[in-house]
């Protein structure tokens, strides 16, 4: 390994500090609302900081590095276009997200029951939770593989007389940390610790970038990118090379909008804010900082491209090389102290992001998949215990999933195809908040389409890989087509339905809550 004692010291001190902080915050957690949504008292700057940190998980860092290596800086232009659309829509006008906060729902499925039906709440709760768990299944193993390569650990080691992959051991440690911090304090501890560790993570990200540029040089970085990826390394819509393309961009934008109304971790964050206006302001500031962070991390992947080129190195499988080339490069250039800072940032990026997602999906499983079938609602103490047990069970499942995981596409495409399933709920939520004519029957049709098509794509890709064939349909075609079909079905079936709409005016409630500062 290439880890100096000072690096282990930095990592150990930070772990003890955040553990003590979580234990203290756990003593302040008195109710289900405290545990799940921080008592709905999160204000702007704390919420913004926690949101930025919560979205920069280790899995996100690996995916950004992979995209930087595969696509260069072309995502920068897509990110700018995305900000031009998303920032005014949500950050200034608060489209939909302020209305969700006004419902006072703790989860998207709770709102679905209020707007449509109890049966649809249970269905969306099960489907969204399943898709979220499927998506999260790769978090621990992908992060563990990244760290193993970064610290230059051997691929396997002898444990109890057997050859065990080191990535499995690291994965187990990451999951153990996740369980520990998930059980201590819930969302209250998560928000506060996220705000603090955001500073560490951002310091590590920029320190590594400046060091990398100093090692390679801007001119070399630029020329190697041009030689390796051509125009597609800078222009996402280039006709030559493996560019993103317009369909991919439209898929990204559609999904990014719909996930604001369906993705559990996002909605739980919005539900924790003190009032609707805080939700949009937090989105506005967080988007600006978040996109800048994405571009910086992608530069790490571009640096790996400049040093290693486009060819797969000997001894590495072609399907995993794009995700391990960046940590392999960083392991060679990052000096002591900076390595300790980097490992600390990566560890807390993994813990905070995984904790946030785990808490969200565990809450959805308990609230939307278990509690509706109970004769009497559980008391607060039992409710929290059920969420914690679900977290432990999911972590065990993730460990076994990680042992079997074999990538069939890039990390981003896999994560977003899973998110595509959840996006169908976003269709029925946004139409439900703004269109009086949205009916339960149409919502069922939209959700069904959003589930079947992405799942069929993921299964087909696995079959094609086993046969060593090239899958003929790109993920973005499946994703965008799914949304188009879901929206069409919602409108058509709703217009044909004679049922009574349960629409109510959320816009009026938003204005009242913002004026009074009501929680």
Name the pTM for this structure. Answer: 0.82
Write the DSSP symbol of residue 505.
-
425: pLDDT strictly greater than 50: yes
Q: What is the pLDDT of residues 261-286, one digit of tens each?
A: 888 777 766 666 666 777 777 777 66
Q: How high is the pLDDT of residue 23?
A: 74
Q: How high is the pLDDT of residue 36?
A: 44
Range from 96-100, 113-117, 185-189, 222-226 that averages highest in pLDDT: 113-117
Could you tell me what percent of the chain has a pLDDT over 90?
31
Q: What is the pLDDT of residues 62-82, one digit of tens each?
A: 999 999 999 988 888 888 888
Alpha-carbon span 182 to 212, nearest angstrom: 34
Of 387 and 38, more confident = 387
Tokens of 66: 């992979």
Q: What is the pLDDT of residues 204-221, one digit of tens each?
A: 888 999 999 988 888 888
Using CA of residue 427, residue 432, residue 434, residue 436, what is the dihedral sign?
positive
- Lowest average pLDDT, out of 194-208, 329-343, 396-410, 472-486, goes to 194-208
Q: What is the pLDDT of residues 301-346, one digit of tens each?
A: 999 999 998 888 888 888 889 999 999 999 999 999 999 999 998 9
427: pLDDT strictly greater than 90: yes
403: pLDDT strictly greater than 70: yes
Could you tell me what percent of the chain has a pLDDT over 70?
87
Q: How high is the pLDDT of residue 150?
A: 94
- Lowest average pLDDT, out of 36-40, 263-267, 420-424, goes to 36-40
Instruction: Give residue 188's pLDDT band: very low, low, confident or very high (50, 70, 90).
Output: low
Of 6 and 42, more confident = 6
Look up tokens 């949205």; give the residue: 438
Q: How high is the pLDDT of residue 511?
A: 81
397: pLDDT strictly greater than 90: yes
Any alpha helices (H) in 27-117, and if so which ranges?
Answer: 32-37, 44-54, 58-71, 74-86, 97-103, 108-115
Alpha-carbon span 160 to 162, nearest angstrom: 6
- Lowest average pLDDT, out of 113-122, 225-234, 460-469, 486-495, goes to 460-469
- Closest alpha carbon to 194 in 64, 43, 348, 297: 348
Of 190 and 443, more confident = 443
Instruction: Give residue 34's pLDDT band: very low, low, confident or very high (50, 70, 90).
Output: very low
Tokens of 447: 């959700």
What mean pLDDT value characterizes the chain? Answer: 83
> What domains are there in the chain, each with its CATH number?
5-371+383-408 (1.20.1730.10)
Q: How high is the pLDDT of residue 139?
A: 92
Q: How high is the pLDDT of residue 497?
A: 92
Return the SS3 of 165. Answer: strand
Return the SS3 of 157. Answer: strand
47: pLDDT strictly greater than 70: no
Return the SS3 of 57. Answer: coil
- Closest alpha carbon to 443 in 362, 358, 517, 501: 501
Bridge partners of 164? 157
159: pLDDT strictly greater than 50: yes
Q: How high is the pLDDT of residue 412?
A: 85
Alpha-carbon span 116 to 108, nearest angstrom: 12
Any alpha helices (H) in 230-374, and if so which ranges?
Answer: 246-259, 264-271, 276-308, 321-333, 338-364
Q: How high is the pLDDT of residue 143?
A: 93
Instruction: Give residue 39's pLDDT band: very low, low, confident or very high (50, 70, 90).
Output: very low
């Amino acid at each position: 390994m290439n880890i100096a004692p000072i690096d282990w010291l930095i990592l150990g001190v930070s772990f003890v500090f955040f553990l003590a902080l979580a234990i203290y915050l756990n003593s302040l957690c008195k109710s289900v609302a405290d545990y799940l949504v921080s008592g709905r008292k999160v204000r702007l700057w704390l919420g913004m900081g926690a949101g930025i940190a919560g979205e920069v998980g280790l899995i996100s860092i690996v995916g950004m590095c992979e995209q930087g290596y595969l696509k260069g800086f072309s995502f920068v232009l897509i990110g700018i276009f995305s900000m031009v659309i998303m920032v005014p829509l949500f950050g200034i006008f608060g489209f939909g997200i302020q209305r969700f906060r006004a419902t006072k729902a703790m989860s998207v499925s709770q709102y679905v029951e209020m707007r449509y039906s109890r049966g649809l709440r249970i269905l969306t709760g099960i489907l969204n939770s399943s898709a979220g768990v499927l998506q999260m299944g790769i978090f621990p193993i992908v992060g563990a593989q990244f760290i193993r390569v970064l610290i230059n650990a051997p691929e396997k080691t002898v444990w109890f007389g057997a050859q065990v992959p080191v990535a499995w051991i690291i994965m187990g440690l990451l999951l153990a940390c996740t369980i520990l911090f998930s059980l201590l304090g819930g969302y209250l501890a998560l928000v506060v610790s996220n705000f603090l560790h955001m500073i560490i993570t951002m310091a590590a990200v920029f320190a590594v970038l400046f060091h990398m540029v100093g090692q390679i040089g801007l001119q070399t970085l630029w020329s190697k990118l041009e030689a390796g990826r051509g125009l597609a390394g800078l222009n996402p819509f280039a006709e030559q090379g493996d560019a993103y393309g317009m369909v991919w961009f439209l898929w990204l934008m559609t999904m990014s909008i719909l996930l604001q109304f369906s993705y559990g971790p996002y909605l739980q964050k919005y539900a924790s804010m003190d009032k609707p206006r805080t939700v949009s302001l937090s989105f506005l500031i967080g988007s600006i900082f978040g996109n800048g962070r994405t571009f910086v991390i992608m530069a790490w992947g571009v640096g790996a491209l400049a040093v290693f080129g486009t060819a797969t190195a000997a001894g590495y499988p072609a399907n995993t090389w794009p995700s391990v080339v960046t940590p392999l490069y960083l392991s060679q250039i990052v000096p002591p102290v900076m390595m300790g800072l980097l490992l600390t940032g990566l560890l807390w990026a993994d813990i905070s992001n995984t904790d946030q997602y785990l808490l969200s999906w565990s809450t959805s499983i308990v609230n939307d998949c278990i509690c509706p079938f109970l004769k009497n609602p559980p008391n607060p103490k039992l409710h929290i215990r059920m969420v914690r047990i679900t977290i432990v069970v999911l972590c065990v499942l993730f460990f076994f999933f990680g042992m079997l995981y074999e990538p069939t596409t890039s990390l981003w495409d896999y994560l977003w195809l899973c998110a595509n399933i959840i996006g169908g709920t976003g269709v029925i939520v946004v139409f439900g908040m703004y269109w009086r004519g949205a009916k339960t029957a149409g919502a069922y049709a939209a959700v069904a389409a959003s589930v079947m098509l992405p799942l069929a794509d993921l299964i087909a890709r696995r079959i094609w890989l086993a046969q060593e064939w090239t899958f003929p349909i790109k993920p973005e075609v499946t994703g965008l087509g799914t949304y188009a079909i879901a929206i069409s079905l919602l409108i058509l079936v709703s217009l044909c339905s004679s049922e009574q709409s349960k629409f109510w005016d959320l816009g009026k409630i938003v204005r009242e809550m913002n004026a009074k500062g009501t929680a």
